[in-house]
Amino acid sequence: MKAVCYMGVEKMSVETVRDPTILNPRDAIVKVTSTCICGSDLHLYDGLVPTMEQGDIMGHEFMGEVVEVGSGIQPDKLKVGDRVVVPFTIACGNCFFCKKELWSCCNNSNPNYWIAEEMMGHSPSGLFGYTHMTGGYAGGQAQYARVPFADVGPLKVPEGIPDEKLVFLTDIFPTGYFGAENA
Amino acid sequence: MVENSRTRMADAGRGKRRSMSRQKWGAIIGGSALALYGITRRSPLGWALAAGGGTMAVLAGTRMRSQEPSVWTSLLVNCSPEQAYRFWRDFENLPRFMNRLQTVSVLDNRRSRWTANGPMGQPIRWDAEITEERENEFIAWRSLPGSDVQVNGEVRFQEAPAGRGTMISARIEYGSASGMSRALGQFLRKGANFAMRQDLRRLEALMETGEIPTTEGQSHGPRDMVTGVMRVMDPTRPIPQGSNLKDVFAARRSIA
């Protein structure tokens, strides 16, 4: 597949890489139909965020169609053919924070939690395509993306509404909503 | 029983520990005396003496703590003490979240055979025996004589207040018998604090979600040499057994 890769400070390129595969039972593979470049991708582009590595696949705002699900996903939660918007935070749905619906604080989804803890005291959840400090997950500026804990995050959306009206649900709209609620 | 094993362990390394602690107490007492003397002089030279002596005493005092022959850590996990106890009590589950272990096979109700990753890819083997246990609360085990290393452990499961799950506290003690066994023990002890924290975090993920989150094996663009070297040197992500280092470097594209 083709994917936008970070190749160094102010160097991005579209590379041909291996298609993603299911690595854990609760993974799903999403065929990306729309994706955005976020304002915070510019921080990565400018080299301002540590723990980026050459070859990392970018992008944390994407939506698409489920093309494969892992063995641990119940069909009533998610199945092949579902149209989904994928939030940029990865949440397990079972930990202390997820039970309180504090998805961005998920205890389990960031395998590199210790880097974030060293830098900031606590670790956020894993994020798509946003440095190895938040897990080093391959992002969604690609033709396909692997979505971990796919029975928790992805939001099923109906057919008939164009992508352009939905893709904001990944990051842009919730960020504004969260800001308004806290104001 | 556990107290006994701890005492025995301290005895095994007694000679070295005693001379080290003598040096340390010397530094603490000497440094403090120097600091006191310096303060009473009330001159620039006196202040310098006081600062130097004080630094020496503080350094010696803080270094003292790092000499512990055991490592311990605890973590709050969102499950019941019964669930955590049952999972741990089946020792064959341990390699699923303890990265440095290759296999554990249960021999009978109390004894098990452990294999860990040793230096240069060589396995370290030991037999362990449960020395004490209370159902849903506590398990303690020790390595049996004739093992490659002397390594004892204990784990406690306590129900946390306000429905916050279970506090799992684990402790591993590394003995230093002599010769090869001592060297292997030191190999295992190296970085053990961090490794143990990682192990418990993986256990938490396994208990709460049924899987351990990973990016190992995901696709990515071309890596550079620096990333390849970092990946190979990273102690938190051991290269799987049986993989050829040359291949790992040559196939840079497959390094996650």
Instruction: Give per-residue pLDDT as tens, B171-218.
Output: 999 876 677 888 888 888 888 888 899 999 999 999 999 999 999 888
Within chain A, residue ranges assigned H as helices are 41-45, 96-99, 113-120, 172-182
Assess if residue B223 is contained within a domain. Answer: no
Does residue B228 sit within a domain?
A: no
* B2 pLDDT tier (thresholds 50, 70, 90): very low
Q: How far is A1 from chain B (nearest CA, A)?
A: 10
Average pLDDT over residues B25-53: 81
Q: How far is B204 from chain A (nearest CA, A)?
A: 8
Residues B148 and B52 in one domain: no
Note whether B97 and B185 are same-domain residues.
Answer: yes
Looking at the predicted structure, is the pLDDT value of residue B162 above 60?
yes
What is the model's pLDDT at position B12?
35
Q: Minimum mean pLDDT among A101-110, A150-159, B240-249: which range?
A: B240-249
In 3D, which of B213, B97, B78 has the Cα closest to residue A125?
B213
Q: Which of B209, B226, B244 is the last residue of a domain?
A: B209
Those residues with Cβ within 8 angstroms of residue A35's Cβ, 6 or more apart along the chain or in another chain? A59, A61, A62, A63, A140, A141, A142, A167
Domain residue spans in chain A? 2-159
**3-state DSSP assignment of residue B153:** strand
Place of tokens 């975090």: B201
Chain A residue with CA closest to B202: the answer is A108
Considering only CA atoms, give the Rg of chain B.
Answer: 23
Mean pLDDT of chain A: 95
Q: Which of A15, A90, A94 is the closest to B222 by Cβ?
A: A15
- pLDDT (tens digit, 9 = 90+) per residue, B224-235? 888 778 777 776
* Of residues B76, B110, B72, B75, the one with CA closest to residue B91: B110
Q: What is the CATH number of the domain that holds B177?
A: 3.30.530.20
Length of chain A: 183
Helix residue ranges per DSSP H, chain B: 2-12, 14-41, 44-65, 81-89, 94-97, 179-189, 192-209, 225-233, 245-250
Residue B124 within any structural domain of the chain: yes
Q: Tens of pLDDT along A28-84?
A: 999 999 999 999 999 999 999 999 999 999 999 999 999 999 999 999 999 999 999
Query: Which of B194, B209, B224 is the last residue before a domain boundary?
Result: B209
Q: Which positions in chain A touch B198 (Cβ < 8 Å)? A: 114
Tell me what ipTM this predicted complex has: 0.92
Residue B135 structural domain: 73-209
CATH number of A2-159: 3.90.180.10
The size of the A-B interface in CB pairs under 8 A is 111
Sequence-distant (≥ 6) Cβ neighbours of residue B121 within 8 angstroms: B241
More confident residue, B5 or B199: B199
Pick from B172, B169, B165: nearest CA to B157: B169
Query: Would you state the pLDDT for residue B7?
Result: 33
My answer on whether B182 and B60 are in the same domain is no
Domain boundary among B40, B65, B90: B65
Shared domain for B122 and B98, answered yes or no, is yes
Collapsed DSSP state (helix, strand, coil) of residue B176:
coil
pLDDT at B64 over 60: no
Give B212's contacts in chain A (Cβ within 8 Å): 24, 111
Cα radius of gyration rounded to whole Å, chain A = 16
Q: Is residue B236 part of a domain?
A: no
Q: Both B151 and B92 in a single domain? A: yes
